[in-house]
Amino acid sequence: MKENLEPVYTVYDPRCQEIPIDFVGISPRLDTLEGKKIGVVNVMGGNEEVMESVAPDIMEAVPGCTAEYFPLYDESQYAKAWDFIESCDGIIVGHNY
């Protein structure tokens, strides 16, 4: 039996039926940081020296602002992370870079 050495191609139909998603846009920006709680979330660790320094620097630069660092190292902390994020007025996210 002779083998067919010709390449085999699969062609997909690029058309699809997607469920329409309403456009929400980005969250409105804070007009001031004074009196606000800012969360600094470090997703999956890495670059900790920089991420840990952001919250104290914000509080030093903006009197009346509270900033808190939250290291998020693994999936077991996701529920706690969401509680923390929802308690903040604004979030700064770093991701292992």
| pLDDT for the residue numbered 97 | 61
Q: Per-residue confidence at 73, pLDDT binned at 50, 70, 90?
A: confident
Tens-place pLDDT, residues 39-64: 999 987 778 888 899 999 999 999 99
Q: What is the mean pLDDT of the chain?
A: 88
> Is residue 96 scored above 80 in pLDDT?
no
* Pairing label, strands 37-43, 90-94: parallel
Q: What pLDDT does 2 receive? A: 66
The predicted pLDDT at position 38 comes to 97
CA atoms in the 13 A half-sphere facing the CB of 74: 1
What are the start-end ranges of the H helices in 1-97? 48-61, 78-86
For the stretch 18-44, pLDDT in tens is 788 899 888 889 999 999 999 999 987
| pLDDT value at 4 more than 90 | no
Using the 8-state DSSP alphabet, how is residue 74 labeled? S
Tokens of 86: 């929802």
For the chain, what are the domain ranges? 37-94
Cα gap 76→29, rounded to integer Å: 30
